[in-house]
Structure 1
Amino acid sequence: MDLIIKNGTIVTSTESYMADIAVKDGKIAAIGSGFPEIGAEVVDAKGMLVLPGAIDAHTHLAMPFGGTISADSYLSGTRAAACGGVTTVFDYPMQRKGKGILETVEERKGMCDPEACVDYAFHCIITDLNDGTILDEFEAAVDNGITSFKCFLVYKKERMMVDDATLVKIMLKAKEVGAITNLHAENPDLIDLNIEQFLKEGKTSAWYHYLSRPEYVEAEADKRAVHLAKSINAPLYIVHMADKEGLEAAVAAKMDGHDILIETCPQYLEFTSDVYKREDGRNFVCSPPIKGQESQDALWKAIKVGTIDTVATDHCPFQSYEKDWGKEDFTKIPNGCAGIENLYPYMLSAANEGKISFNRAVELCSSNPAKIFGCTQKGSLTVGKDADIVIYDPNKDFTISVDNMHSDYDHTIWEGKTLHGYPIKTFVRGNLVYDNGDFVGKPGLGQFVKRERRK
């Protein structure tokens, strides 16, 4: 054996039990006890929880947006992921007019391969069907392990938005080839109407970012998208769900047996729209914006009863001086916040505090994303699967600061947040990449995850 982790409590999405894990050639070779230790690295996890590595199914690394590029490269973003117990990240290459899906993905893969510190996969954003030729490429994309495509119902001026007819075409084609459509749902016309009015009135602070895209603006698009997906019987994965009304519509469809999947993010679980009234409110500007207490309560309820499927980050940080571009005009603030290093620690801390079980945290952050997106070698501590393993100390308190994170941004919305319990080691395919505060991996270790099509 190459690695033996002994005396820990293994936590899966369904059970917790004492056992040792033996690793050989990057795979989990055996789970049990009494493994021969000669020639193996032995890690004593007594008093610790042993978890499958998390999968952050929603990141935007090195993403051009808002007149700049998101602050984390593939190197720094995946380094931060490793240090938060995330062993696989999903990024969003953006197909543009005149470009193909595989062309877009290969370009990003070329950037990622030499830098990735953890394993990675891609959803491809579709912005233009190129007279229908893009739909013809869906089958080849799925054959190459790209089994999810994303659409925006917003960002019309940025030429990222698709209309309802295009969305339906994409959902139908995705269903046909065994893929799924991811969707950012907000109503752009209502946003533009609100923005125009606020700017006329000289209302330009970060608070008006929230008021320009309040609950009903997201809810309308959520409900419309759910209705369309139900009507054509196509799967739909709604990203970064933040509002109560839209959540309720998606959950109702799910309960009726429709293939509707729901993702939310830690920022919506921790903060409310009141952050936009703060002096540093612009740092919290993301889209959809953080909503009111009623929406947050609904999200936590759905987390607890099991109707939200995944928690991911929408990690898309910008530097503080870039956020400052919108000091006098909220429309100039680059949209996005950090979170890739905070995802698993935050949800595990919630478990440690009794809000949810540790099994539920694993389900939301690891096993469900693996199942939904066809990562057959990820998401559980099972013999034969990749040895993506996190050792978690439930007694270690940790206060988040930009100074102890491992990204390239200069501020974090999580500054000063104390978590109860924290990861102390992360292994990617049996390779130690994080050790009690220090990144010890290397760029280029991460491998592309070729995913299986949906059945």
Structure 2
Amino acid sequence: MDMILKGGRVITASDSFIADVAVKDGKIVAIGKELSDTADKVVDVTGKYVLPGAIDAHTHMAMPFGGTVSSDSYLSGTRAAVCGGVTTIFDYPVQHKGETILGLCGSKDEVLKEEACCDYAFHCCITDLNDGDILNEMEQAVEKGITSFKCFLVYKKEGMMVDDGTLARLLLRAKELGAMINVHAENPDLIDLRTEQFLREGKTSAWYHYLSRPEFVEAEADKRVVHLASHLDTPVYIVHMADEEGLEACIEAKKKGHDIYVETCPQYLEFTCDVYKREDGRNFVCSPPMKGQASQDALWRAIKAGLIDTVATDHCPFQSYEKDWGKDDFTKIPNGCAGVENLYPYMLSAANEGKLSFEKVVELCATNVAKIFGCTDKGSIAVGKDADLVVYDPEKEFTISASNMHSDCDHTIWEGKKLHGYPVQTYLRGQLVYDNGEFVGTPGIGRYIKRAKYSKK
């Protein structure tokens, strides 16, 4: 054997127990008590927890948006990921008119082969059907393991939005191919209407970013997506759920047996719209924005009840000077925040505080993601799975600061957040890539994940 993690508490989505975990050739080969010490490396993790690496199903690395490019390259973004216990990311390449799925993802893959510090997969954002060519190409993409695609119901002026008819065609085509459609659901016409009104009235602070797209603006689109998918009998995955009313529509559809999957993000679980009243409120601008306390409470209730499927980050950071472009006009603030390094530590700290179980965190941040998106070798600690392992010290006190993060972004919305418990090591396919605050991996170690087709869970 290459390595044994000895004496830790193994956490799965359904159980926790004291055991050794043995690794050979990047795979978990044995789990049990008092495994033989005849391994090249034995790591005593007594008193620590051993968890599967998290899978962040929602990142935007090196993404052109808002007149700039998100501040984390694939190297710095994936470096930050493993330093927070995330061993696989899903990135969202955005197709523009004339571009193909395979051409776009292939160009990203060429960069990631050189830079990736964790494993990776793609959800390709489809913005134009190219006279139907994209519908045909989706079959080739699925065969190459790209089994999910994204639609924006917003960003009409930016040329990224799809209309309801295009969404319906994509939902039906994805079902036919064994793929999943992910949807960013907000109503662009209501956003434009409200934005124009606020600008006319001279209401330009970050607070009006929230008021331009409050709860009901997101909820209308959530309900529309659920309505379409339910009547077309297709699966759908709604990203970054932030509002109570839309969430309730998803829950009702779930209870009727429809394949509706819901993702939320740590920022919606921690912050409310009140952050937009702060002096640095522009740093929190993302879409959809953080909502009111009632929505946050509803998200936590749904997590505890097993009605939210995944927690991901929508990692899309911009430098503070870029956020400052909108200091006097919220429409000029690039939308997005950093989070990939904070996902697992935040959720695990919440478990340490008793808000939910550690098993539930593994389910939300690893196991469910792997099941929904066909990552057959990922997401759990079991014999035959990739040895993507995180050693977590439940007693370690940690305060988040831009100075101790591994992103290239110069600030973090999590500045000053105190966490009880923190990851101390991350292993990617059995190789140590993060050790007690330091990245110790090698850029290019990450591999493309060819995923299985979707089947109803």
d(CA) in 2 for partners of 1:420 and 1:309?
24
Q: Paired residue for 2:387?
A: 387
Alpha-carbon deviations, 1:422-453, whole Å to 9, x = none? 00000000000000111100100000000000
Q: Paired residue for 2:190?
A: 190
d(CA) in 2 for partners of 1:132 and 1:118?
34
d(CA) in 1 for partners of 2:36 and 2:361?
32
1:166 equivalenced with 2:155 (yes/no): no
d(CA) in 2 for partners of 1:213 and 1:33?
53
d(CA) in 2 for partners of 1:35 and 1:342?
33
Stretch moving more, 91-100 or 63-72: 91-100
d(CA) in 1 for partners of 2:75 and 2:273?
32
Q: Paired residue for 1:417?
A: 417
Alpha-carbon deviations, 1:220-263, whole Å to 9, x = none? 00001100001100000000000000000011001110000000
Stretch moving more, 33-42 or 231-240: 33-42
Q: Paired residue for 2:88?
A: 88
Alpha-carbon deviations, 1:340-369, whole Å to 9, x = none? 000000000010000000000000000000
1:268 equivalenced with 2:258 (yes/no): no
User: Structure 2: which amino acid aligns with 1:301?
Assistant: R
Residue pair 2:3, 2:40 contacting (<8 A) in 1 also: yes
Q: Paired residue for 1:305?
A: 305
Q: Paired residue for 1:209?
A: 209
Stretch moving more, 78-87 or 36-45: 36-45
d(CA) in 2 for partners of 1:382 and 1:3?
15
SS in 2 for 1:137: helix
d(CA) in 2 for partners of 1:84 and 1:133?
39
Q: Paired residue for 1:331?
A: 331
d(CA) in 2 for partners of 1:342 and 1:17?
25
Provide the TM-score with structure 1 as the length reference. Answer: 0.99
Alpha-carbon deviations, 1:401-430, whole Å to 9, x = none? 000000000000000000110000000000
1:94 to partner: Cα distance: 1.0
d(CA) in 2 for partners of 1:406 and 1:37?
34
Q: Paired residue for 1:428?
A: 428
d(CA) in 2 for partners of 1:116 and 1:261?
28
What are the residue-to-residue correspondences of 1:194-273 with 2, within 5 Å?
194-273=194-273
Where does the alignment leave 5 or more consecutive residues of structure 2 unmatched? Answer: none
1:95 to partner: Cα distance: 1.3
Instruction: List 4+ stretches of structure 1 deviating above 6 A.
Output: none
d(CA) in 2 for partners of 1:396 and 1:35?
27
Q: Paired residue for 1:143?
A: 143
SS in 1 for 2:47: coil
Q: Paired residue for 1:73?
A: 73
Q: Paired residue for 2:99?
A: 99
SS in 1 for 2:35: coil
SS in 2 for 1:114: helix
SS in 2 for 1:17: strand
d(CA) in 2 for partners of 1:34 and 1:105?
45
User: Structure 2: which amino acid aligns with 1:5?
Assistant: L
Q: Paired residue for 2:403?
A: 403
1:111 to partner: Cα distance: 1.3
d(CA) in 1 for partners of 2:225 and 2:305?
23
User: Structure 1: which amino acid aligns with 2:291?
Assistant: K
d(CA) in 2 for partners of 1:235 and 1:111?
31
d(CA) in 1 for partners of 2:253 and 2:176?
21
Alpha-carbon deviations, 1:179-227, whole Å to 9, x = none? 0000000000000000000000000000000000000000000001100
d(CA) in 2 for partners of 1:301 and 1:25?
41
1:96 to partner: Cα distance: 1.2
State the identity %.
Answer: 72
d(CA) in 1 for partners of 2:10 and 2:444?
29
1:39 to partner: Cα distance: 4.4
1:127 equivalenced with 2:114 (yes/no): no
Where does the alignment leave 5 or more consecutive residues of structure 1 unmatched? Answer: none
d(CA) in 1 for partners of 2:208 and 2:34?
61
1:34 to partner: Cα distance: 3.1
SS in 2 for 1:127: coil
Q: Let me know the Cα RMSD of the aligned residues.
A: 0.6
1:37 to partner: Cα distance: 2.4
User: Structure 2: which amino acid aligns with 1:256?
Assistant: K
SS in 2 for 1:90: strand
User: Structure 2: which amino acid aligns with 1:309?
Assistant: D
d(CA) in 1 for partners of 2:279 and 2:332?
17
Residue pair 2:18, 2:33 contacting (<8 A) in 1 also: no
d(CA) in 2 for partners of 1:208 and 1:337?
18
d(CA) in 2 for partners of 1:370 and 1:17?
22
